């Protein structure tokens, strides 16, 4: 996927999916607190490690900036709500749907008016005990593909399936652990399936996956910089 400079933020047209990537800029974190809602600030303060707190603040502030630009609102005025199973949404958004994920200092956002959307990003660090996790949460075909992968590629194969699963359950709003075993992401989507799935590498040493309702769709990637964030 090619990543264009995000010189402006525009609301996606129906049938478009806009993906934004950003690297955490720790220098501007103090300027971002004022854009967060009270519950977001409280959640940040509950995080034990300072690095996690900074990453959370940056990611949520970036989401508010993107949504605010699309909805013509100040970032602090965006009323992000949470559905029953934790999926965030904004009411009265003219069909705009969104999702966000972050891993280490990399943040990824997906915006669309096509339908439900989910995105996940993971660092390409060999996960501990991934074989045990796969045995518990992977579908039969995923476990078979993982077992057949060369040893040197097995952890990458694991993360490919894992990001697909995360993106899917985040898009559908289903409970993560309830749905993981039933979703087989090793199988290709059927020709008549009303979903689009995409694997990509948004940054060095990171894997990501997108699941979005609708087909065919136009995917565009944007490299987000702090220069397009109002007031930062």
Q: Residue 140 belongs to a domain with what CATH number?
A: 3.90.470.20
Dist CA 217 CA 132 (whole Å):
36
Q: How many domains would you assign to the chain?
A: 1
Percent of the chain with pLDDT over 70: 94
- Work out the mean pLDDT of the chain and round it to a whole number: 89
CB contact at 8 A, 78 and 71: yes
| pLDDT score at 176 | 59
| pLDDT score at 162 | 93
Mean pLDDT of the region 46-53: 95
How do residues 31-42 score in pLDDT, each as one tens digit?
899 899 999 999
Closest CA to 219 of 94, 124, 119, 89: 119
| pLDDT score at 228 | 46
| pLDDT score at 224 | 87
| pLDDT score at 192 | 75
Domain hosting residue 172, numbered range: 3-228
| pLDDT score at 76 | 92
232 pLDDT tier (thresholds 50, 70, 90):
very low
Dist CA 12 CA 95 (whole Å):
10
Question: Pick the residue with more confidence: 108 or 10?
Answer: 108
Which has the minimum average pLDDT: 87-101, 107-121, 181-195? Answer: 181-195
| pLDDT score at 8 | 84
How do residues 157-205 score in pLDDT, each as one tens digit?
999 999 999 999 999 887 655 667 788 898 888 777 889 999 999 999 9
Which has the minimum average pLDDT: 17-21, 103-107, 173-177, 220-224? Answer: 173-177
Write down how long the chain is: 232
Mean pLDDT of the region 95-122: 96
Angle between helices 130-137 and 154-172 in degrees, nearest 10 = 40
Backbone angles phi, psi at 41, to 5 degrees: -65, -40
How do residues 132-158 score in pLDDT, each as one tens digit?
889 888 999 999 999 999 988 999 999
CB contact at 8 A, 199 and 1: no
Write the CA distances from 178 to 141, 169, 182, 183, integer angstroms.
Answer: 18, 9, 8, 10
């Amino acid at each position: 996927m090619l990543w264009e400079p995000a010189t402006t933020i525009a609301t996606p047209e129906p049938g478009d999916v806009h993906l934004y990537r950003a690297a955490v800029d720790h220098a501007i974190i103090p300027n971002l607190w004022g854009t967060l809602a009270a519950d977001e600030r409280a959640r940040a303060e509950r995080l034990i490690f300072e690095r996690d707190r900074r990453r959370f603040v940056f990611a949520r502030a970036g989401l508010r900036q993107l949504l605010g630009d699309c909805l013509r609102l100040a970032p602090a005025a965006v009323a992000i709500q949470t559905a029953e199973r934790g999926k965030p949404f904004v009411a009265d958004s003219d069909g705009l749907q969104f999702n966000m994920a972050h891993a280490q200092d990399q943040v990824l956002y997906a915006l669309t008016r096509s339908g439900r959307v989910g995105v996940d990003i993971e660092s390409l660090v060999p996960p501990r005990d991934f074989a045990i996790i796969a045995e518990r949460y992977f579908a039969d075909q995923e476990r078979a593909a993982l077992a057949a992968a060369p040893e040197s590629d097995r952890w990458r194969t694991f993360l490919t399936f894992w990001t697909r699963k995360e993106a899917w359950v985040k898009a559908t709003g289903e409970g993560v652990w309830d749905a993981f075993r039933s979703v087989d992401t090793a199988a290709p989507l059927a020709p008549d399936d009303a979903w689009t799935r995409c694997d990509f590498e948004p940054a060095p040493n990171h894997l990501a996956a997108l699941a979005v309702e609708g087909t065919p769709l136009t995917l565009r990637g944007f490299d987000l910089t702090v220069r397009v964030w109002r007031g930062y």
